[in-house]
Structure 1
Amino acid sequence: MKTSYLLSAIIMPVIFMQCNFNNHISDASGTFEVDEVIVSSEIAGKIISLPIEEGTMLQKGSLAAVIDSIPLGLQKAQIEATIATLHQKTLDVRPQVKQLQDQISVQRVQLENAIYERDRTERLVKAHAATTKQLDDQNNQIEVLKKQIIATAAQIGVQKTSVNTQNSTVLSEYKPLRKSIAQVNDQIRRTNVLNPINGTVLTKYAMQGEVTEAGKALYKIGDLSVITLRAYITGVQLAQVKLNQTVKVLVDSTAKTYRTYPGIITWISDKAEFTPKTIQTKEERANLVYAIKIHVKNDGYLKIGMYGEVVFK
């Protein structure tokens, strides 16, 4: 009787421990992570506002920070002033054209008078009251006046072309300056730092009042509503898993109990890698394993870096 009681006392705890182990045995294990986005300023300048703290939940598109835009505003005003002076540098060809047109009018009157005098001289020559030399001189004068009118008209065209060329050179600066204003406006818009995703601020790197640089991190944010368990399986286990498969995720609750969450396999690595030192596989340790990602809806208890186990259903 004593021997039977002693054997029962030894065997019963072993059976209880084995049952307890079998109830919580896992097929894979890993740690929780989240896709993180580091938000940086695209513009250098003083941080006017950064009303966020670690743990703050932000909506996508919400205003997260404001960078001083006064220097950019002054730069824009300077460009606009330069554009305004362009028209002052251009020439008005109309007064010069008007002067040449008046000159042509005078020359035409002179031509009409010369033709009248020539016609009169022709009659006098026929009446032997004037010489042919006088007639020739008047014809020469008429030809000279005609050539002067043609030359003056051509001068109007040359003057217009010259002034237009000069004005075009001045006004050619207009489009690049307008592009510069558009560029400055874009930079001014970027002084408002908009949050890129829905999530929780994980780390804050800067403070209001500091001077930041373009590309310098302001804060890090991640969506903790759905957290990812990166686990590792052996090559033998690959046949047990597939994308969108539902699995059971176990997380320590107390020393003897687990929290259980449903999870969905969203990614399976197509390449083997050496087993991370912190990961234990089903067969204790394997030389090569495959990484998988499991999305788990977070009830607030799951944290980045927390250890989790997976049971394939």
Structure 2
Amino acid sequence: MNKKVIAGILVVIAVVAIGFWVWGYNHKKQLDNNVLTLYGNVDIRQVSLAFEQSGRIQKLLVQEGDKVQAGQVLATLNTNALQIQAKQAQAQLKAQQEAIIKQEIGARPEEITQAKAQLASAQAELDKTNKNLQRLQILVSSTDGRAISQQELDYAKSNQHSAEAAVRERQANLELLIKGARKEDREATRAQYEVTKANLDLINYNLTQAELRSPVNAVVRARLQEVGDMTTAQKAVYTLALTNPKWIRVYVNEQDLSSIKMGGTAQVIRDTYPNQPMNGKIGYISSVAEFTPKTVQTEEIRTTLVYEVRVYVNDPNDQLKMGQPVTVKVPLALSEKAHD
């Protein structure tokens, strides 16, 4: 084979190679033109948990990094004072309930008999004091006050007044037992019962709120207080990071905004696992432009107006961490790019 033939073959091979390179380059460029690459950070919602009431923390049951379930008890308050208040309210409620029953059914015959006996005893004491006072008054009158002192006479009058008051009290008590309680008295007793019952309900509610429970499935991000601390409703005990939903916060300039559609698909790529992309979906596009936050990694758009976009990711294995930098690739329709 002469040199001219060999040279011709080499030329053909070179032309074919260049052709393949040009095709590959154009194909890659076309693919790149059909993908919008964005850079952002993982974002999640957080919950600050605090007790509804003030008290001393008795137990803290979870630590930073622990996974917790909805309804799980995370911390408790000391409830000694509340338990004492509950017992007092229960005793008052029982006494008032018995008083209501007594007013409704009236007095028993034994109670009426006892009240009559008490009235008779008080009447006998009054008769005794009356006779003693009359005797002293006669002595004063017959001796011009020389037989007894004024102090003795005053003492006898005081005893007589006390005996009269006792008779009136016993008489009123007997009449009340016979007639039964007045409507106003029954209503007043019932009102006191309802107040005590409401107070007991509040105490029991406060007892349940002495347990701090997780409202959702989450991960403990921070433990902000310690056992023995006095806490209030304004002081958070834990900060929880919600495991769902998770999203990537990215920023898009106005030129590329028309390529972003609600519900559109995207791929989320982690720097440490570039070959294991995660599927995402565009779930939020801001309608208000803003200056690009300084945390955005693309320098060319840091000084321009951009729109916030959120790409939501299903992360059942909890691979994405809050603040983690990631790359987002949004596929664009060919017709849209051709139109642009």
The two structures share one fold, judged by TM-score above 0.5:
yes
Does the 8 A contact of 1:233 with 1:281 survive in 2? no
2:330 corresponds in structure 1 to 312
Matched AA of 2:305: L
Instruction: Give how far 1:301 is off.
Output: 4.3
Answering whether residue 59 of structure 2 is matched by residue 39 of structure 1, we say: no
Q: Secondary structure at 1:35's aligned position in 2?
A: strand
Instruction: Give how far 1:284 is off.
Output: 3.3
Counterpart-to-counterpart distance in 2, 1:162 and 1:200? 61
Matched AA of 2:320: L
The farther-off stretch of 56-65 and 303-312 is 303-312
Counterpart-to-counterpart distance in 2, 1:215 and 1:166? 44
List runs of 5+ in structure 1 lacking aligned partners.
1-15, 100-155
Instruction: Give how far 1:286 is off.
Output: 5.3
1:302 corresponds in structure 2 to 320
262, 277, 295: which one aligns with 1:260: 277
How many aligned positions are there?
241
List runs of 5+ in structure 2 lacking aligned partners.
1-24, 114-174, 332-340
Answering whether residue 244 of structure 2 is matched by residue 234 of structure 1, we say: no
Counterpart-to-counterpart distance in 2, 1:171 and 1:302? 60
Matched AA of 2:81: P
Matched AA of 1:165: E
- 5 Å-filtered alignment, 1:73-92, equals 73-86=83-96, 87=98
Counterpart-to-counterpart distance in 2, 1:67 and 1:300? 31
Answering whether residue 207 of structure 2 is matched by residue 180 of structure 1, we say: no
Counterpart-to-counterpart distance in 1, 2:92 and 2:112? 31
Matched AA of 1:62: Q
Q: Secondary structure at 2:294's aligned position in 1?
A: coil
Instruction: Give how far 1:225 is off.
Output: 5.8
Q: Secondary structure at 2:277's aligned position in 1?
A: strand
Counterpart-to-counterpart distance in 2, 1:246 and 1:253? 22
Does the 8 A contact of 1:40 with 1:219 survive in 2? yes
Q: What is the identity percentage for the equivalent residue pairs of Structure 1 and Structure 2? A: 25
Does the 8 A contact of 1:27 with 1:281 survive in 2? no
Instruction: Give how far 1:215 is off.
Output: 3.5
Change (3 A) 1:166 1:223: closer
Answering whether residue 217 of structure 2 is matched by residue 195 of structure 1, we say: no
Answering whether residue 291 of structure 2 is matched by residue 274 of structure 1, we say: yes
Counterpart-to-counterpart distance in 1, 2:67 and 2:307? 34
TM-score between both structures, scaled by the size of structure 2: 0.60
288, 291, 297: which one aligns with 2:305: 288
Change (3 A) 1:33 1:170: same
Counterpart-to-counterpart distance in 1, 2:36 and 2:271? 12
Matched AA of 1:56: D
Counterpart-to-counterpart distance in 2, 1:284 and 1:54? 37
